[in-house]
Amino acid sequence: MNKLNVLVAGSTGYIGVQLVKLLCKHKYIKIKYLCGNSSIGKKIYSYDKDLKKYNLPKIIKINYNYFKNVDVIFTALPNGQSQIIANNLYKKNILIDLSADFRIKKVNIYKKFYKIKHKSKKLLNESVYGLPELNEKNIKDKRIIACPGCYPTSIIVPLFPLFNGNFLKKEKVIIDSKSGYSGAGRSILKEAKKMNLFSSLKAYGIPNHRHNAEINQELSLLSKKINFNFTPHILPMFRGILSTIYVEKNKSNISIEKILDFLKKFYKKQKFVRIHKKNSQIGTKDVINTNYCDISVCETNDKNSLIILSAIDNLIKGGAGQAIQNLNIKFGFKIDEGLN
């Protein structure tokens, strides 16, 4: 099979660099263009020495004429910029976007949470929320794939099947998520000293973190009545997310074994979701540098309550790895191509 020609826009951010590293290992991909704004003329390996062994192009300013020469455009850009790129696509192009620009289907909600007027409303119908384990069929059919945010990935993957199976009460869901600082992008380093970033824990985004819109949109596909409180935190580590989700069982006699069995069956064919034994106190250690989402369901001292733990690498399963998973689905490659 001929290789797909790829352009990566926003190639020097944390997710952009991670994406380039994974694409270099994908046997059906040729990276034709690396684009950036503040790094024009630089080599990508100046951001990660591991990339020095690959013959990669220098970083250049994006030019829409380049789109004629590529099959796939990956965008890891600040919110708002992928909309403009989408408006300049050719019919042959597939856009895989790692920003929030096409995740939110209602433009008024997008504007409320992101403070940006949407510039590509007509293309929202040509986009799909690209959570691979839940939207595989639609991913195959759409030309714009909106990769989910990192926190929502860690939250929706465990909760969606359990609400779908009517195992949980919809009134009381508390989500406590903790992430490495890479989830905030390189710009956070400018605030590192003021925040005491490398030796403190910080809650932020209360009460209206942007990812509330995304979580609500996807869980609302099951019920309009799911009420949740979501609080994110930044940890003094580089990568990884652990979401601790407090839920109540719909009926007190539902056993944890039945819930785990349901999850295992639901994700039986999904390589990158791993369901652990009950009461497993999982963390980020086993998912760092992988595309896995690890899930554990734990009992509490209240027989009606459960704690769900969900761990991912925010730069891979919550970002670049999920983007490549979507690429593999779209073009019929093995699901783990480039991700082993």
Whether 323 maps to a domain, the answer reads yes
Answer yes or no: is pLDDT of 174 > 90: yes
Q: Of the residues 35, 147, 150, 293, which is catalytic?
A: 150
Tell me: the pLDDT tens digits for 113-146? 999 999 999 999 999 999 999 999 999 999 999 9
Say whether both 73 and 205 belong to one domain.
no
Say whether both 173 and 252 belong to one domain.
yes
Tell me: the pLDDT tens digits for 24-48? 999 999 999 999 888 899 999 999 9
Say whether both 270 and 212 belong to one domain.
yes
Write down the pLDDT at residue 287: 98
Say whether both 306 and 199 belong to one domain.
yes
pTM of the entire structure? Answer: 0.95
Write down the pLDDT at residue 190: 66
Whether 338 maps to a domain, the answer reads no
Answer yes or no: is pLDDT of 110 > 70: yes
- What gap in Å lies between CA 132 and CA 139, rounded to an integer? 8
Write down the pLDDT at residue 92: 95
- Smallest CA-to-CA distance from 326 within 152, 5, 158, 98 is with 98
Whether 339 maps to a domain, the answer reads no
Whether 189 maps to a domain, the answer reads yes
Say whether both 292 and 237 belong to one domain.
yes
Say whether both 125 and 156 belong to one domain.
no
Say whether both 178 and 293 belong to one domain.
yes
Answer yes or no: is pLDDT of 51 > 90: yes
Answer yes or no: is pLDDT of 294 > 90: yes
Whether 14 maps to a domain, the answer reads yes
- What gap in Å lies between CA 30 and CA 26, rounded to an integer? 8
| Structural domain boundaries enclosing 121 | 4-148+318-331
- Residue by residue, DSSP assigns 38-103 as S-TT--GGGT-GGGGGS--PPEE---GGGGGG-SEEEE---TTHHHHHHTT--TT-EEEE-SSTTT
- The two beta strands, 273-275 and 94-97, are unpaired
Say whether both 159 and 206 belong to one domain.
yes
Say whether both 32 and 53 belong to one domain.
yes
Quickly state the pLDDT bin for 196 (edges 50, 70, 90): confident
Say whether both 87 and 60 belong to one domain.
yes
Say whether both 191 and 97 belong to one domain.
no
Mean pLDDT of the chain: 94
Whether 337 maps to a domain, the answer reads no
Say whether both 161 and 282 belong to one domain.
yes
- Smallest CA-to-CA distance from 177 within 133, 148, 211 is with 211
Catalytic residue list contains 150: yes
Number of domains in the chain: 2
